[in-house]
Amino acid sequence: MSGLLDRLLDGDHRALARAITKIENRMPGHRELVSSLYDHTGNAEVIGITGSPGAGKSTLVDKVAEHYRSQGLTVGVIAIDPSSPFTGGAVLGDRIRMASNVGDMDVFFRSMSARGSLGGVSIATADAVKALDAFGKDRIIVETVGAGQNEIDIVKTADTVTVLVQPGSGDDVQMLKAGILEIADVFVVNKADLDGADRTVQELNEMLQLRDDDGGRSSTGHHAGHHAESAEAVALQRTEAENGWMPPIVEAVATRGEGVEEYVDALDDHRAHLEATGELEAKARARYAEEIRTLLREDTAELLTEEIAAHGGIEELVAGVTAGETDPYEIADSVLAPIADCARQQRDS
């Protein structure tokens, strides 16, 4: 394990790939590996990108990675695929979609399964982000399946969350109303050359106005390749940011690379806001708290599985309920009792 860690820290991409495989599959030694990574993390900027299917997330990720490479930055991309309920693997496999970056080893792409995580981004994904961070990637992009409410968990992994919206989609508006609006730090209206783009920007602005307790306004969207935002709009955005971040709305045509530079500028602005307000540190603390809770849930579930097996297995327990000999509450108490007793003894010793 130490050899794998050393090679990863030395910049060996094959070691990085092997480490992520070990992490994703929760193979023996993965916990020790991740524990060893912590001392080497905290340098990368982590960007989350989500949105409805067909909004152009993969194309935007590709163009953003290309832009970062042109600045001399290295990039890691994790694309979360829906999990197969039967195998736990990624349905779509390792998608080769980074057309602009094929052959560029400084853009590391990995497709991972969401593994049935309710939030779409599992603990394994968060650990894979740590591997990319420790490796030395400057920017890490986590692209998630467009599964609506399930994307909330991306907040726990990313410093900045981008929600992609396509024009004229009632589904997108409904998705935003369902709660995705609350997690967005930056909005991108992609395919802005299509009819309805202006209307979509207007709807987003209206939603942000309703969300803002003070009735403030979002910065106006701007067409890629057209004039930049007015000085008044920029000043307004900065004023609003002093009292809390107001998500900007960037219009883009990702297939042509239009709007990518404006989008990256918005990401940089949000990063500066996080650092200036102390929110970056607060996000890190919240992330660690969530990791602790998640790991405790995972480990407790494993202990309970062992206890259930010691009681004859779940079918045996169900048979007792069916026969009227016991009930689920009594079973839960009896299965938990030895674990609870052990915990109390440790606490009291």
Which value, in Å, is the radius of gyration of the alpha carbons in the chain?
23
Mean pLDDT across the chain? 80
pTM value?
0.80
Q: What is the pLDDT of residue 261?
A: 94
For residue 131, being part of any structural domain is answered with: yes
What's the CA gap between 79 and 120, in Å, rounded?
11
Percent of the chain beyond pLDDT 70?
Answer: 74
Residues 309 and 331 in one domain: yes
Q: What is the pLDDT of residue 341?
A: 92
Residues 150 and 206 in one domain: yes
For residue 60, being part of any structural domain is answered with: yes
For residue 288, being part of any structural domain is answered with: no
CB of 142 within 8 A of CB of 49?
A: yes
CB neighbour list of residue 246: distance below 8 Å, 6 or more residues apart: 208, 212, 216, 217, 218, 219, 237, 240
Supply 227's token pair.
């004039």
Return the closest-CA partner of residue 26 out of 285, 252, 298.
298
For residue 287, being part of any structural domain is answered with: no
Residues 79 and 223 in one domain: yes
pLDDT tens digits, one per residue of 27-72: 899 999 999 999 999 999 999 998 877 788 888 999 999 999 999 9
Write out the residue range of the structural domain in which residue 332 sits: 297-348
What's the CA gap between 143 and 13, in Å, rounded?
20
Residues 90 and 15 in one domain: no
Residues 202 and 321 in one domain: no
Residues 97 and 26 in one domain: no
For residue 285, being part of any structural domain is answered with: no
Q: Please give the tally of structural domains in the chain.
A: 3
Residues 77 and 22 in one domain: no
With cut-offs at 50, 70 and 90, classify the pLDDT of residue 257. Answer: confident
Return the closest-CA partner of residue 176 out of 36, 50, 326.
50
For residue 283, being part of any structural domain is answered with: no
Return the closest-CA partner of residue 140 out of 225, 233, 28, 267.
267
Residues 146 and 257 in one domain: yes
Residues 116 and 247 in one domain: yes
Higher pLDDT, 101 or 218: 101
Output the CA–CA distances (angstroms, integers) from residue 142 to 22, 124, 277, in the order listed: 19, 13, 24
Residues 325 and 183 in one domain: no
Residues 19 and 156 in one domain: no
For residue 289, being part of any structural domain is answered with: no
| CATH code: domain of residue 71 | 3.40.50.300
Output the CA–CA distances (angstroms, integers) from residue 236 to 210, 217, 239, 345, in the order listed: 17, 8, 5, 59
Residues 86 and 121 in one domain: yes
pLDDT tens digits, one per residue of 163-221: 888 887 665 566 565 566 777 899 998 888 888 788 888 888 888 877 765 444 344 44
What's the CA gap between 98 and 61, in Å, rounded?
8
Return the closest-CA partner of residue 125 out of 150, 98, 143, 102.
143
